[in-house]
Structure formats: structure tokens, C-alpha cells
Structure 1
Amino acid sequence: MPHPSPLPSELPDYFAVAQARTLGVPAQRLGRRDLHAPYRGVRGRGSDTASGDLRDQCLRYAPRLRPWQFFSHETALSLYGAPTPDWPYRPALHVSAHRPAREPRIAGVVGHRLQLREPLTARDAAGLPIEHAVRAWRQCGTLWGRDDLIAAGEFLVSGPRPLATVEELRDEVQAMGDTTRGLLRRALAEMRVGARSPRETRLRLLLVRAGLPHPEINWNLHDPDGRFVAELDLAYPRYRVCPEYDGRVHAEDPAQFARDADRWDRIRAAGWEHVRILNHHLRGSGAAAVEKVARALRAQGWRPGRL
């Protein structure tokens, strides 16, 4: 069998059949074995190497997007880099359009026809059209639980270049409405600026809901002479206790692990109790993590009911 004729260089890795036909590619060429069809009307170069990566799914679907359609809901938040619910939950591919335009109706895609509203989409580095981060967060109120909304919201409002502010999230809920039982407003009430990971958020929520004091976030620890010691993810300055989540299963980077161990020693040398929380402490109800921190606080003079 002769080798397939080369495709036009203008065609990307995934392209619409209509685009190829416009460039003069014969219909029979689009059925050759060096191409695959991830969706009806779309072709991809090479064999089908489908993965669970949501960005890859978006790239595979993108040639089908109509000019008025865009990735929304948890798909958009994932493209921004926000955390999504833990495994085994798998975010779906959500594509939306504002009324009166039509959403897609095809297997493997969740289509949404949104309220008539001025579009406010952005484009990521790959040129994918994605819903505004604030709107996408509110849309996830129909999909996720409160803690996942808090973790994603804290991602949006934290970091050196936040994608939103708490006020913007609150204004969006005020303008477009909340979900059943005020889920979004309850999430906003527990949201804090500065959290660096969903596990750190989960740990903080566990501690506060168990009746422990509210910890400070990203507390700068200095020694008695004013010299900087460390920035603490979570801290109880009154009791000199700092719980920190460490998600490493083992020391994959010995040099980094050594630096961290030295940092823990400096924290203890400054008179603080460092409580290292590992992933297994957060499993289930997280009671093990709460007990470790409560024990350290009690040893430093805290009693239930105190701030």
C-alpha cells in the first residue's frame, strides 16, 4: 500500500475535517490509517493515544468548537490550574454557549446553554477559549462539594498573580444567584487568601471545624533578634505551634529533603513545636491530623474553648 500523501503544513495536530477539505485534502485521504477521529468531524495526526489529561481532551475537541462556544465549569478551572476534586473523581469536558446560541450535543461532552449574558472568555497559552475564572468557579457550585469549592476559590485569590479576588467571587454569586442551601456563600465564608495547596486548605478546615483555634496563614517567623527563620504555612503564634502538610511519600530529592529537615530544626530551635502532617493523617475523617495538632496545642497551654 502506498504511503499516504503529506497533509498541508497549515493543519495542526488536531483539525476539523472541513478545514482540511477547504485546503484541498481529498475525503479518502482523511480516512487513512495515519489519522484518527477523536470526535465526529475531527482528525488527529498519528495513532489514537487518548489520555485522561483534561487539557489533551480539550485540544482534541477544540476543532469542533463553534465561534460562540467555550470551555466552562470545571474544565475551565482545570485549564487555569485550579485544583479539582480528588481521585476517583474525574472532571468532565464542559462546553458552553450563551443563549440564544446552541451548546454542543455529542457523546463525551457536557453541553450547557447559559443565560443571555455578555461573554467574558479568555484564551490560554494554546489558544483555547475558556470561561472567565470567576464565572467558572460559580458554575462549579452545581458540581462540587463545599470543600472543593473552597480549595479552588483559594487558588484563584492567592499567589503572586491572583486570578480573582474574594470580592469578585462574592459579587458574581450576588449577581447570578447561589445554589441550593447557599453552598457558594458558605464556601466564601470559609475562604482565606494565601493558601498554597488544597491539602493545606483541607488541613486548616479540619482543625477549625474540630474546634481548634484559627491558624494564621503564611506566618513569618523571626528569632528574638529579629532574624528571619522561616515562613510557616499555618501557625499559632500565641502557642508557638506550626502544623505543616508534607505530601511526599519519600524523599525523592535528597538535597531538598535535607534543606527541609534543617528548616524544621531551625523552627524548633526558635522555641516552636513543628507538627508534620503526612497524607495518611488526612485520610478518612482526618482525625489523626486533628489529634496531632491538638496534642501539640495542649502541651503549649491551649485548652478547648480558647482562641
Structure 2
Amino acid sequence: MPASDDPAALLPAAFTVAQARAVGVERGRLRGLAYTTPFHSVRVRGAVEANSLTASCLAFVPRLTDGQFFSHETALVQHGVPMPEWPYRPAVHVSAYRPAREPRTRGIIGHRLQLREPAFAVIGALPIENPVRAWRQVGRLWSFADLVAAADFLISGDRPLAAVEDLRAEIATMGDVRSGILARSLRAVRFGVRSPRETRLRLLLGDAGFPEPAVGWNLFDDRGEFVAELDLAFPRYRVAIEYDGRVHAEDAAQFARDADRWAAIRDMGWDHRRVLSHHMGSGGRAAVAIVRDALTRAGWTPGR
């Protein structure tokens, strides 16, 4: 059949069965190998990209009704917020503020939220919840460390998505959950964190009883010239801790620049230690041991 005579050519990549029938597509054609069925009554040309939350959301768009939007961790993914680590897999959450109704179908977690003025925005064809509201929504789903890492991300960077005051105001407006886990998370949030692993390392060191490190500490030499930004610094003990998630040095030029920076930090009399990905396994015992050794050598004693 010529494309010009094919009514299915009038449809977008993802569509409902009702939309297809409305333009004259025969029901039998929708059962063919040319289409997949990611959700009940939805068809997609070809296959939906496996393990892609965004692809699943795009496939569900034809089923969205007025007032429905992607929320919770689904929204945070679209805002670039780091997710809990593997094997955790974020689900597709769709919400609606009362009196609108949430979807009820396999593969979707629906939520009917308290009556409130909506604040979602369209991002890449997807209606996405406001990141501050989405952060509070995952308070019922995520661990303390994951909530802190997400909040660190939201308030940091050149163009932060929120301020601590915004997150605090959201809790005041809508309430806390799980014995105040959101308020506790905000007390642990710090500006300038570069990665979720850095957040988890910082929390791990706090649980181990170490002094709290400064985040993003700028090191200057005696002439006032900038030397390096330290991920986690203990200025009193002149100890610098850096989380390095690289498995191997894929960028030789960047690795060389980093090596020169590490040498410059040591030349300033600081003990520079790198915590690598494998040090964070088994509850982070190796990472704690690295920091304990550095601080002890510098004169720190437990309980000080």
C-alpha cells in the first residue's frame, strides 16, 4: 500500500488504538509485527527502547488525559537528578491533582494528589512535575542518602534547579513523611557537591565519627593564587579527600591534568587521598579506613 494511502501514516510514533481506528486503520493491522504494545490500548511503531524510562514515558503520552503528568522519580530523571544506585530501577509514575484522576493500568504507578495548583511543565513533549515537588514525592520511596544526594544536586551547579528554602517550604506546605526523613535530609544537604557518590562518601564519613569536611574547598598558595578545588577538605588537618569514579583513565590528557593537580596539592603540604569506586563497596569500609589513616597521621583522635 502506498504511504499516501496508508491511514497509519497519519499517526504519531505512539498512538492509542482509538486514534488508529478513528483514521481508518483496521484492527487486525494493529496486531502485526510492525507495532509493539507497551501499555494497554497503546501501539508504538517498532520497539520501545529497553531500559529507557524516557522511551516508556513517550510511549505512554497518548494515554495521558487532562491534568495528568509524570511525577516522583520519573520526573526527577527528566530533570537530570541522580537515581538510587543499581539494582534500583525507577518506575513510571503518573499523577493528577484532585479532582482529576490518575491512570490505572499495568506498568504505571498512578497517584491522585491533594487538591493543589499544578506546577508541571512540558519538557521534551513530556509533562513533568516541578523538581521541588517531585523531590518531596520520593520521600516515601528513597533512602536517606538518596534523598540527600538528590537535594545536593538540585541546589548545586551553575544553574541550580532549587534552593534549600524551596525544599523547606515544600515540606512546610505539604508535610513531611516517614518520621521526618525529608527535614533530616535537608540538614545534611551541602552546596557544591559534584556527584551522588561524593554525597554518599560525605555521609559515610559523618557516620564514622569524623569531623565534617568542607565541600568544594578552594586551596590557595602563599601568594593567594588558586591551586585546586578540593572535593572534601579537612583544613585543620590539611587532608584532602577526592572521590574518583573512573574505572580507568580513558582520557589521557585529563588524567595528566589531574595528576599535576594532585602533585600541586601535595606540594602545599596537604595529604591528598583518592577514594575509588571499589572502596565504596561492603559498606564503604575501605573508604573509611583511607580517611581514618589520613586524619590519624595528621593528628586527629576519635572524639575530638
What range is the shorter-chain TM-score in? over 0.9
Letter in 2 for 1:175: T
What's the CA shift for 1:12?
2.9
The verdict on how the C-alpha distance between 1:158 and 1:10 changes in structure 2, with shifts beyond 3 A counting, is: farther
Deviations 1:131-188 (A, max 9, x none): 1111111110111111111011111111111111111111111111111211111111
Corresponding residue SS for 1:87: coil
What's the CA shift for 1:40?
2.1
Corresponding residue SS for 1:303: coil
Letter in 2 for 1:120: A
Equivalence for 2:108: 109
1:256 paired residue among 254, 257, 262: 254
Kept in 1, the 8 Å contact 2:54–2:78? The answer is yes
Letter in 2 for 1:208: G
Kept in 1, the 8 Å contact 2:48–2:55? The answer is no
Corresponding residue SS for 1:232: strand
Unaligned residue ranges in structure 1 (runs of 5+): none
Letter in 2 for 1:12: P
Partner Cα separation in structure 2 for residue 12 and residue 160 of structure 1: 37
Equivalence for 1:289: 287
Kept in 1, the 8 Å contact 2:219–2:227? The answer is yes
Partner Cα separation in structure 2 for residue 199 and residue 173 of structure 1: 25
Corresponding residue SS for 1:105: coil
Equivalence for 2:45: 45
Partner Cα separation in structure 1 for residue 43 and residue 137 of structure 2: 30
Corresponding residue SS for 2:57: helix
| RMSD over equivalenced CA pairs, Å | 1.8
Letter in 1 for 2:34: D
Equivalence for 1:33: 33
Structure-to-structure mapping, 1:110-189, within 5 angstroms: 110-124=109-123, 126-189=124-187
Partner Cα separation in structure 1 for residue 7 and residue 78 of structure 2: 30
Partner Cα separation in structure 2 for residue 12 and residue 263 of structure 1: 52
Corresponding residue SS for 1:194: coil
Equivalence for 1:73: 72
Partner Cα separation in structure 2 for residue 45 and residue 111 of structure 1: 25
TM-score by length of structure 1 reads 0.93
Corresponding residue SS for 1:285: helix
Equivalence for 1:14: 14
Alignment: residue pair count = 303
- Tell me the percent identity: 58
Letter in 1 for 2:180: G
1:216 paired residue among 202, 214, 217: 214
Partner Cα separation in structure 2 for residue 110 and residue 23 of structure 1: 30
Deviations 1:80-121 (A, max 9, x none): 111111111111111011112111110111111111111110
What's the CA shift for 1:68?
1.0
What's the CA shift for 1:7?
5.4
Partner Cα separation in structure 1 for residue 48 and residue 135 of structure 2: 30
The verdict on how the C-alpha distance between 1:7 and 1:163 changes in structure 2, with shifts beyond 3 A counting, is: farther
Partner Cα separation in structure 2 for residue 216 and residue 21 of structure 1: 62
TM-score by length of structure 2 reads 0.94
Partner Cα separation in structure 1 for residue 261 and residue 23 of structure 2: 61
Equivalence for 1:95: 94
Partner Cα separation in structure 2 for residue 49 and residue 43 of structure 1: 10
